[in-house]
Amino acid sequence: MAAPKDRRGGGDTSGLAARRAALALISAVLEEGRLLSDALADPRGMVAALDGQGRARAQRLALTTLRNIGRADRMLGPHLRKRPPPAIHNILRLALAEVHAEGAAPHGAVDAAVSLAREGGGAAALAGLVNAVLRKTTAAPPEVWQKLPVPDLPKWLRRPLIAAYGKPAVEAIEAAHLAGAPLDLTVPGDGPVPEGERLPNGTLRLAAGTQVTALPGYAEGTWWVQDAAAAFPAMVLAPQPGERVADLCAAPGGKTMQLAAAGAQVTAVDVSEARLARLRENLSRTGLEAEILAADVLDWVPAAPFDAVLLDAPCSATGTIRRHPDLPFVKRPEDVGSLTRLQAQLIDRAIAMLRPGGRLVYCTCSLLPEEGEDQVTAALARHRGLRAVDADVPGLAPEWRSGPGWRLRPDYWAGQGGMDGFYIALLVRDGG
Ligand SMILES: C[S@@+](CC[C@H](N)C(=O)[O-])C[C@H]1O[C@@H](n2cnc3c(N)ncnc32)[C@H](O)[C@@H]1O
């Protein structure tokens, strides 16, 4: 196959290099079962060879295509007698998502798709099929696409969510996943900030696709990117100036920065050196301070107990699907069992680090009750000297109470662009 001229993305006027890289990302997710974040960070990947603009375009195209695969496949169905090879199938899906979900001009998307199909060497004969199918399907009026059903979550995830929240709620969650996520900023103090909508908890919300590094206040470190739901756990912990607070499973540090900005003396612990490097960068940009420890929380024994602990435990991350549409294709039900065992062990370690009267916030960005409500209920049964307590936090609605804590869902604040799914509980150790 001839080396495509615009491989590096510089001068990628036709957008072919960005589309080619988007297809490589989609294939990494669908065919190799890799997380999009890993494929994006791969220095040998096609995206690494693009300039900033090309990279952003490739990432956006991959995200849009993954979010809309269900709709693209429904539209393609009547035009395909048999399933085409994955490379061709993904070219068709990408072009349809580009035209119908992003509003791209059909002729450009179809021409690019045909060129990409021709590049495939052995599959070159299929370029004619790509042309014929896309000419028809990209010409469909917008309302035909809009009326296609919202893509379902995979059955292993859908079933327990319907059992927990009911079918209408799961359909609303799926609609929120399809809509994607805006850009949320946590702004702890004064300084330059971009124009945006203030949410009830103080989060500043901007339109999706905004280039973060170009916004007022980025260089000054006035704010950081953090989903509105992810800002609640530190607010629930309500750290006081001078309190000793452990942030367990801390990287890349969104919650560490909230705790430090409130004046707490923070010890941030995470097992991943690579993720801690990002935490260090975040602290340095925002001018905030914390003690940073690379350690496994299961082994680490602090020198003295803490006034408060925040445990943001590793989980299925199913609450973040609107920002990470690759997750339903990559995550497996069997991953959840080992995560729930780890979460229970981490909770036990976190409780052992509290002084009498100390507070623990447990949270996960999961939609599954077994990583949220059930986990905290079981911890309360294991530890008699522990109680769940209420918190008075702006924006944290009383109707979100669920079991011993709060259940946050992507379909909440729907009119304002939704939020990630989270579970948060505030526990207090007796005594003190
Ligand atoms: C949900 S993420 C944390 C997000 C972070 N709290 C924030 O707000 O930016 C979970 C983190 O747990 C860390 N982790 C997983 N198992 C761990 C363990 N046994 N000990 C310490 N950290 C662990 C992972 O490296 C990952 O950074």
**Nearest alpha carbon, ligand 1 atom 27:** 251
Average pLDDT, the chain: 94
Q: What is the pLDDT of residues 174-191, one digit of tens each?
A: 999 999 999 999 999 888
Q: What is the pLDDT of residues 31-89, one digit of tens each?
A: 999 999 999 999 898 999 999 889 999 999 999 999 999 999 999 999 999 999 999 99
Residue 221, CB-side half-sphere exposure with 13 Å CA sphere: 13
* % of the chain exceeding 70 in pLDDT: 96
Q: What is the pLDDT of residues 387-419, one digit of tens each?
A: 999 999 999 999 999 999 999 999 999 999 999
Residue 363 known to be catalytic: no
Q: Quick one: pLDDT band at residue 351, thresholds 50, 70, 90?
A: very high
Q: What is the mean pLDDT of residues 281-307?
A: 98
- For residue 211, pLDDT beyond 90: no
Residue 6: the pLDDT is 47
385 is in an annotated binding site: no
Query: How many angstroms separate the alpha carbon of residue 127 from the centre of ligand 1?
Result: 45
- Helix and strand totals (H; E) in the chain: 15, 13
Q: What is the pLDDT of residues 230-251, one digit of tens each?
A: 999 999 999 999 999 999 999 9
255 is in an annotated binding site: yes
- For residue 5, pLDDT beyond 60: no
297 lines ligand 1 (CB under 6 A): yes
- For residue 276, pLDDT beyond 80: yes
Query: Does residue 252 have a cis peptide bond before it, meaning omega lies within 30 degrees of 0?
Result: yes
271 lines ligand 1 (CB under 6 A): yes
Show the domains of the chain with their CATH numbers: 16-146 (1.10.940.10), 224-429 (3.40.50.150)
To 5 degrees, how large is the angle CA 241–CA 245–CA 251? Answer: 120
- For residue 2, pLDDT beyond 50: no
Buried b (16+ CB within 10 A) or exposed e, 31-42: eeebbbeebbee
Q: Complex ipTM above 0.90?
A: yes
Residue 7: the pLDDT is 44
282 lines ligand 1 (CB under 6 A): no
319 lines ligand 1 (CB under 6 A): no
105 is in an annotated binding site: no
Please report how the helices 52-76 and 167-179 are oriented relative to each other, as an axis angle in degrees rounded to 10. Answer: 140
Which of residues 190 and 367 earns the better pLDDT score? 367
CA distances to 215, 218, 245, 380 from 225, in Å: 11, 10, 22, 33
CA distances to 48, 412, 420 from 417, in Å: 31, 9, 10
* % of the chain exceeding 90 in pLDDT: 91
CA distances to 113, 222, 278, 357, 371 from 334, in Å: 37, 41, 29, 37, 14
- For residue 105, pLDDT beyond 70: yes
CA distances to 148, 201, 226, 233, 273 from 276, in Å: 43, 27, 17, 20, 5
> How buried is residue 103: exposed, middle or buried, by Cβ count under 10 Å (0-12/13-18/19+)?
exposed
Please report how the helices 106-119 and 127-137 are oriented relative to each other, as an axis angle in degrees rounded to 10. Answer: 160
